[in-house]
Every structure is written in C-alpha cells, then in structure tokens.
Amino acid sequence: MSDQSDRPTDFINKQGTARFSRISFHWGILMPSDPQPAKAELRAAMLARRNALSPEEIREGSAAIARRVTALPLFAAAGTLCSFMAFGSEVHTAEIIHTALDEGKRVALPRTLMDEHRLVLHRIDNLERLRPGPYGILEPAPDAPVVDPAEVELFIVPGAVFDPAGNRIGYGAGFYDRLLAASDGGRMAVAFAFQVVPRVPAGEHDRPMNLIVTEQGVIDCARGWRSTDRLRLRNMHFYGHHGAFPQEREHGIRFAVDVDLRIDLQLPGMTDNLATTVDYPAIYRLIQRLQSARQFVLFEAMAEQIAGAILDEFPAVLEVTVVARKFNPAVDGPMDAFEVEITRSRPEWMKRCQGS
C-alpha cells in the first residue's frame, strides 16, 4: 500500500497492464533511463507481480513481517506510532496495530483529505470504528483525535517498490513524502521481499526509509551509500591492440584487468537471488566490448572508460576501482608488468538524490 488517496482498485489494475517500452534490463530488474516514466512502469510491473500473490501467500508473508516488526528495538522504543491499513495485495498491518495498542502505544492512522490533497493523522483505540474512505480503504472517523505528524516517533510506511538505500516508489501522488517531511520520526517500510530491487529512481525531495522489513529479513537502509561490502574480479585476461608503441597497436598485447566493486550486499545476502546483485560475467563482457571497440594509447584512458561504464550500467555499484595491467611492456630491461589503478565513485549530488 502507498499513499491512501492513490490506491483505488481500478488504478492498480490498469497500471498492472503497462508496457515496458522505456526500460532497460540489468541483472533481472528494471533499470530506467528516464526517471519519471520509468517510475510509473516499474511501479506497474511490481504491482502486477504483487497482485498475483495468493491470499495464503499474502497472509503468511504478512504474519512473518509483523513478527519481525514487533521484535525490532525501533518499534519497542516508539511511544507514538503511525501505521496504515492494508488495501488489496498490500502487506497486512492489523497484527502490527493490535500489538502496538496492546503495548499501550499511541497509534495513529491516516485519513485522506481529497480537497486538500493530503493525509491527516487521527488517534485510534481499536480497529472497530474505522470506516471506508474515498477509495474503500479503512480510515479513522473525522471526529477522532488529531495527531500532529511531528509527534510521531515511528511511521510504518507502504509503497510499491524500494531499494536497500531506502528509496521508495509509492503510487505517484507524493502523499507520504509530504507527510514524512513534517516529522523527524523513524521511517520503517513493510513490503514483500520481491518489492526490493537494487536501485530505484529517486528525487531530491523523496523521503528515504530507515528500515525495510520483509518476510525474509530486515534491511538497514542507513548502510546504503556507506556500505563497505565488496565484490572483486581478479585477473580477467584480454588481448587487444593497445599501447603507446606502434608495435603494440599493430601486433596486439596481452593484458589483464582487476575490478573492485563497492556495493551494498544486504539484499542478495538476504534473498540468495542472483537478480539482486551484479552479474560478474556481465562485467567481463562489458570490458571485452569496450576494449574491442577502440584502440587505447594509454591504459589510463582504458581504466577510466571501464570505470565509467560500470557506474553507468550497474546502478547498484557505489564505487569502483579498476586496475589495468599490461604484461611484458616494451622497456629497456626486464619488467613483468605495468599497472594503472583508478577509483571512481558516484557524484555527491547523485548520492543526495538517491537517498544517501
């Protein structure tokens, strides 16, 4: 579930049939070239997949998520909590809400103000007095006590798609981004594990999550851009016509490349799913394609091109170190190899826009 006034059934069904004309595919996920259209198409693809879940799958997954949420210190420490009521194929939240009430927490739920295009929070004491809102989603009564978002210590947030850095795609209207901007409270998303992909488009005003709780585990989004996890590819051997000397470019040389990728590995570690990590044969093919497409006079230029291409084609990679190694270089004496090493990372402005 996401922004309440964005969740009518006909919206979800229509979006679930969208085509993927502007999206390229990387390691089994949708990676957009144009953020706004791609957000809509990624949202549609994920909603279609979520809507295909059976009622039993939704119940079992939701129960596992509820157990994880209510066992977290962030949940235990929150005296005032804001949740949402599930709609359609969303993670069921009733068990989380009941536990919060049983523990004496102050619990708020959102109500949609259609004319003002925003959500207002109301305190509840039980779920019996809730009634359908504009789109059939259960909401508090208008006369229930209002809760200031600034007083909420923990928001339990819905959404269609997330990434491990906490970036979120809702249903497109920005209701929750506006609500979350009014509070410094913690932000915990609940979602099925397949709703978390390595990277989603994010804007400067999007509000990233602190935690994402799935039936398979908990992702600490604070690790996101600060992760020190590594994937390393060593001694990838190639043959190409590169070098500063005519004989190297004419006859070709043997060389090797090492690649060190800094990447958050929480998601692949949690899901054991190849589609959530970098496919290292694809890295090899990328380097082979680059070095075959042109002659490099300098290995410095080759290393620069490789690093840039990896950051362009694999959005989950936070930083890359490339070592390009030429064997038996032409010098006036014995020498095993000549190496160039460079490290490149994503620009700081991009990190700020993607939930750092």
The radius of gyration of the chain's CA atoms, rounded to the nearest angstrom, is: 25
- Whether 182 and 278 map to the same domain: the answer is no
- Whether 21 and 64 map to the same domain: the answer is yes
Separation CA 203–CA 346 (nearest Å): 16
How many angstroms separate the Cα of 227 from the Cα of each of 194, 241, 313?
Answer: 21, 37, 19
Catalytic residues: 326
Please say which residue of 168, 201, 222 terminates a domain.
222
Position 36 scores a pLDDT of 60
Please say which residue of 222, 248, 274 terminates a domain.
222
- Whether 162 and 56 map to the same domain: the answer is yes
- The enclosing domain of 10 has a CATH number of 3.40.50.10420
Position 350 scores a pLDDT of 46
- Whether 52 and 190 map to the same domain: the answer is yes
- Whether 160 and 261 map to the same domain: the answer is no
Position 222 scores a pLDDT of 82
- Whether 202 and 237 map to the same domain: the answer is no
Position 5 scores a pLDDT of 35
Q: Is 324 exposed, middle or buried (0-12, 13-18, 19+ CB in 10 A)?
A: buried
User: pTM, whole model, 2 decimals?
Assistant: 0.73
Task: Tokens 């209002």: give the residue.
Answer: 146
- The enclosing domain of 302 has a CATH number of 3.30.1130.10
Task: Give 115's DSSP letter.
Answer: T
Q: Are 235 and 258 in contact (CB under 8 A)?
A: yes
Position 70 scores a pLDDT of 97
- Whether 250 and 170 map to the same domain: the answer is no
3-state secondary structure of 53: coil
Q: Where are the beta strands (DSSP E) in the chain?
A: 23-26, 29-32, 80-82, 106-113, 118-124, 131-132, 138-139, 146-147, 154-157, 161-162, 168-169, 186-190, 211-214, 217-220, 230-240, 253-263, 317-327, 337-345
- Whether 192 and 288 map to the same domain: the answer is no
- Whether 203 and 235 map to the same domain: the answer is no
Please say which residue of 191, 222, 253 terminates a domain.
222
- Whether 143 and 259 map to the same domain: the answer is no
Position 50 scores a pLDDT of 97
Average pLDDT, 10 consecutive residues per value, the chain (356 residues): 36 28 34 58 94 97 97 96 95 97 97 88 95 89 96 96 92 83 94 92 79 96 82 95 86 93 91 87 96 93 95 89 90 86 75 41
Domain span at 232: 227-353
Q: Which two tokens stand for residue 283?
A: 């890295």
Position 235 scores a pLDDT of 96
- Whether 38 and 179 map to the same domain: the answer is yes
- Whether 254 and 177 map to the same domain: the answer is no
**Selection from 26, 42, 32, 52 nearest residue 196 by Cα:** 42
**Selection from 94, 38, 35 nearest residue 66 by Cα:** 94
Structural domain count, the chain: 2
